[in-house]
Amino acid sequence: MNADAKKLLRYMEGADKQFIIPVYQRNYDWTIENCGQLFNDIVSIAKEEYNNHFLGALVSIYHDDGIGQDYLIIDGQQRITTISLLLLAIYNLVKNQNLETKFNPEQILESFLINKYTKSKRMRLKPINEDNSAFIKLFNNEESEFIQESNITSNYLFFLERIKKEEVTLDELYTAIGKLEIVDIKLQSSDDPQLIFESLNSTGLSLQQSDLVRNFILMNEEPKVQEKYYEDYWFKIEKNTGNHISDFIRDYITFKERNAPKTNRTYIAFKKFVSLKEQDYSKENLLKELLKFSKYYKTIINEDGPNDEISKELSNINKLEIKVCYPFLLEVFDDHANSIINDDELLEILKIIESYSFRRSICNESTASLNKLFMTLGRDLKKNEDYTQNYLDILKYVLSNKKSKQRFPNDEEFSEKLPTVDIYAMKKKLIYLLHTLENYDNKEYVDVEKLLAKNMLTIEHIMPRTLTKRWRIALGRDYGEIHEKYVDTIGNLTLTAYNSEMSNKSFKDKKTMKNGFNSSKLSINAGISTFKNWNSQSIEERALNITKKALNIWSYPTTNYIPKIELKNMYYLSDDYEFTGNKIRSFTYNGKKYEVDSWIEFYQRIIEIIYLEKTSEFESLLYDTDNNGKKRNGKILSKQSNTYTRHFKLSDNIYVNKNLSVDSIISNIKQLFRKCNINLNSITLYLRDLNDN
């Protein structure tokens, strides 16, 4: 690596130079605000007569192809592109208006913007595809042809307007640009551009996780291969996933690894995944798979399924804001594409996810545990060898047998919670609920969500939030208690287009007034007019009727499926399960099965396997200390044979503690797996039946 401080214009000038923004770089995304700050700095240089102004580093890979000198810009594309736009704005303004300047405008064009005698590389700066099209249009200087939606165009036009304000003269402006300095960092063939890029972007520069992934995939390839991979795959992946590409990559990794990385560590998890799968994936095969799954992702986020019913269910899932199910949906849509499940089964699976999620939200169950459930749900389903024949029934069986934090609320629990929960405080869930109730078994579709957004419908409290004297009399002496208990529950909530007219009117007036409940065409209001009075009994009765309907809409899964293997005896190391009190029968690691008679035998076998596989990482654990110099793994292994009352010898000078409880064995193995970067899902434990001797 060579680093040299120099003036920016000196860096840009020279015969046959071309500055290429590689396809793996992000689009030009400087805003007018960024450009305004740069222009202000340049004006300050001119007015204060500073000698220089540091603009930062430009990192490039130099390549001479015999036609000219190519500089692949690894870091600094935003700055060099912006300065090129400013220089082009100065040139075009001087030429168009025939302005007098001390500098020769043709010198700007030929020294910094074009290569006059090289047709194949005429433009000195070559942005990535879409930016390049906008950049070329600026040279033609026909504003009607400009690509207006591009940052390239908007920033160029901004510079034109700022220059016309004549805050400084054109000569002063050009002289000030000449005082801009950069550090020119040229990478050698022995340098790893990816490592340097990561180092530069660990200092706080704003890059998305997807930017890092794209660079990781494309950066070290030859330019022609980069172009092919970008055009054939990455560009399409970006189009499919839109602004959600980082989320897509995280969901893809979560599905593949059955483990969800932290959002800001998606790139790290992706690199680790690729390094472990290098034998299975070439770069192109990896991109092919990412492209395939990006199409499923597009279907999910755009709610554009193979038929209208599936699209509607995707819409419902998105209304419930349960994006944690996306990793599982990627797997389900892949199974659908591979004809493991058909359209009807796919629809039913989506309905089950919708019911599961909505019931849990009504029963006030935490969404935190859903992350782990959905990332391993496909694995739990496919524990069964007959899953291709019984996919839907196995899913029902798995979900209906979840316990504790991951349980599927049954009819009794759901029926108890729905009438009493403060649904008004769950505004998005309430809108979804009212929309679904209104359109259930209704031939005339009503887009409740859209009408509410346009204020053409509003949510109405039948018993108003503020009680009038007439309402207090109607409710009786316990009006305060009744109001507090029922006012924001589903039995007291409905829809109307005449909320302001109804206001705090009495129940009788709300029924009989013009456009009141008696004449409402909304199906959700159909039963209200049958009540003579509106009180606690009326609200409870209406809530009960709504709940009966809700049990049909958000149904509990039932199945007669009996697994061929007892699922309760098969666990992954990542499962949140209490193994104490159980006996182990066998385990599999990376697909290979091992029979064992005890937890201690299992512990010794798996540690011996990991030691052979990850010797250097394992041995480094002996020297891993905390800030106080205390060994982090002292309760697991030692270099001395007399450290533990019971141990086994792993190798010369490595002794492993085996005076452990079952809980400690599981905890130690998890700790060792994490230290050695081994996925917890790579090991499966098979337990004995309690009556199995």
Q: How far apart are CA 547 and CA 542, in angstroms?
A: 9
Rounded Cα distance, 41 and 34, in Å = 11
Nearest of 272, 426, 273, 304 to residue 364 by alpha carbon = 426
For residue 180, give both structure tokens.
């801009």
Share of the chain above pLDDT 70, in %: 93
> Quick count: other Cβ atoms within 10 Å of Cβ 474?
17
Distance (Å, whole) CA 641 – CA 532? 86
Q: Which domain holds residue 533?
A: 417-553
pLDDT of residue 175: 94
Torsion of CA 570, 572, 578, 583, to 10 degrees: 50
Q: Cα–Cα distance between 340 and 203 in angstroms, integer?
A: 47
The pLDDT of residue 17 is 85
Asked if residue 228 is part of any domain, the answer here is: yes
Residue 121 banded pLDDT, cuts 50, 70, 90: low
> Last residue of some domain: 553, 577, 597?
553
- What is the b/e burial string over 492-519, where b = at least 16 CB atoms within 10 angstroms of the residue's CB? bbbbbbbeeebeebbbeebbebeebbee
Q: With pLDDT > 90 as the criterion, what percentage of the chain qualifies?
A: 52
Residue 380 predicted with pLDDT over 60: yes
Q: Spell 608-637 as b/e; 16+ CB within 10 A means b.
A: eebbeebeeebbebbeeeeeeeebebebbb
Q: Are residues 294 and 353 in the same domain?
A: yes
Is 406 within the bounds of a domain?
no
Bridge-based pairing state of the strands 53-64 and 180-187: parallel
Q: Tell me the mean pLDDT in the region 422-449.
A: 92
Answer whether 641's CB lies under 8 Å from 649's CB.
yes
**Quick one: how far is CA 422 from the chain centroid?**
30
Both 30 and 168 in one domain: the answer is: yes
Cβ(491)–Cβ(543) below 8 Å: yes
Tokens matching residue 473: 């009399």
The number of domains in the chain is 4
Inside any domain, residue 692: no
484: pLDDT strictly greater than 90: yes
| 560 assigned to some structural domain | no
Number of other residues whose CB lies within 10 A of the CB of residue 384: 21
Q: Average the pLDDT over 241-261 and give the result.
A: 94
Residue 561 included in any domain? no
Q: Any residues with CB less than 8 A from the CB of 52 and at least 6 apart, and which?
A: 7, 179, 180, 181
The Cα 316–Cα 461 span in angstroms is 25
Do both 574 and 546 map to the same domain? no
For 547-607, give the secondary structure using H, E and C: HHHHHHHCCCCCCCCCCCCCHHHEEECCCCCCCCCCCEEEEEECCEEEECCCHHHHHHHHH
For the entire predicted model, the pTM comes to: 0.77
User: Which of 329-333, 509-513, 641-645 is predicted with the least confidence, judged by mean pLDDT?
Assistant: 641-645
Cross-strand pairs, 63: 70
The sign of the torsion formed by the CA atoms of 390, 295, 225, 189 equals: negative
Is residue 353 a part of any domain in this protein? yes
Beta strands in 335-492 (DSSP E): 458-461
Residue 455: which region, alpha, beta or left (left: phi > 0; alpha: psi -120 to 50)?
Answer: left
Total residue count of the chain as it appears in this document: 693
Weakest mean pLDDT among 104-118, 336-350, 430-444: 104-118
Q: Are residues 173 and 316 in the same domain?
A: no
* Angle between helix 536-553 and 479-486 (nearest 10): 10
Give me the mean pLDDT over the 376-388 stretch: 89
CA–CA–CA angle 362, 363, 366 (5° rounding): 100
Angle at Cα 443 formed by Cα 438 and Cα 445, nearest 5°?
55
Q: Are residues 101 and 188 in the same domain?
A: yes
- Note the pLDDT of residue 191: 65
pLDDT in tens, 525-581: 988 989 999 999 999 999 999 999 999 999 999 999 988 766 568 888 877 778 888
Q: Cα-flanking dihedrals φ and ψ of residue 593, to 5°?
A: -100, 140
| Residue 422, pLDDT above cutoff 90 | yes
pLDDT of residue 442: 85
Q: Would you call 518 helix, strand, or coil by DSSP?
A: helix
State the pLDDT at residue 169: 93
The CA R_g of the chain, rounded to the nearest whole Å, is 33
DSSP 163-179: HHTTSS-HHHHHHHHTT
Beta bridge partners of 495: 459
CB atoms within 10 A of CB 316: 21
336 contacts 329 by C-beta, under 8 angstroms: no
pLDDT the model gives residue 204: 41
- Rounded to whole angstroms, how far apart are CA atoms 357 and 554? 9
Which one, of 86, 84, 55, lies nearest residue 163 by Cα?
A: 86
Considering the domain boundaries, does residue 8 fall inside one?
Answer: yes
* Domain edge (last residue) among 498, 528, 553: 553
Q: What is the DSSP string of 452-468?
A: HHTTSSEEEESS-SS--
| Contact indicator for 269, 254 with CB cutoff of 8 Å | no
The answer to whether the Cα torsion of 362, 365, 371, 373 is positive or negative is negative
Rounded-to-integer distance, Cα 433 and Cα 489, Å: 12
The answer, yes or no, to whether residue 119 has pLDDT greater than 80, is: no
3-state percent breakdown (helix, strand, coil) of the chain, nearest 5: 55, 10, 35
User: How far is it, in rounded angstroms, from Cα 24 to Cα 107?
Assistant: 32
541 & 604 share domain? no
When pLDDT is averaged across residues 469-479 and rounded to a whole number, the result is 92
Dmax (CA) of the chain = 100
Nearest-10 Cα torsion for 350, 356, 358, 361: -150
Query: What is the average pLDDT across 70-75?
Result: 86
Q: Is residue 412 part of a domain?
A: no
Q: What is the reported pLDDT for 203?
A: 43
> Which of 553, 588, 613 is a domain's end point?
553
In 3D, which of 251, 258, 342 has the Cα closest to residue 294?
251
Q: Are residues 385 and 307 in the same domain?
A: yes
Residues 157, 161, 164, 168, CA torsion sign: negative
Question: pLDDT category, 688, cuts 50, 70, 90?
Answer: confident
User: Looking at the structure, do residues 256 and 381 belong to the same domain, yes or no?
Assistant: yes
Do 14 and 142 lie in one domain? The reply is yes
pLDDT at residue 11, rounded to an integer: 93
Query: What's at 196, amino acid-wise?
Result: I
- 3-state class of 322 per DSSP? coil
Please give the pLDDT value at position 479.
Answer: 92
pLDDT tens per residue across span 593-611: 899 999 999 999 999 998 8
* One domain, residues 437 and 373: no
SS3 127: coil
Same domain, 148 and 296: no
Q: ∠ at Cα 275 (273, 281), nearest 5°?
A: 80
* pLDDT for res 674: 82
CA distance 394 to 560: 10
Mean pLDDT over each residue of the chain, to the nearest integer: 88
Print burial letters for 587-602: b (CB count within 10 Å at least 16), e (below 16).
Answer: bebeeeeeebeebbeb
Considering only residues 9 and 640, tell me which one the structure prediction assigns the higher pLDDT. 9
Cβ-based neighbours of 577, under 8 Å, separated by 6 or more: 571
Among the listed residues 440, 418, 441, the one whose alpha carbon sits nearest the alpha carbon of residue 430 = 418
Rounded Cα distance, 77 and 215, in Å: 14
Say how far apart CA 162 and CA 261 lie, in whole Å: 45
Confidence at residue 56, expressed as pLDDT on a 0 to 100 scale: 83
Do 90 and 189 fall within a single domain?
A: yes
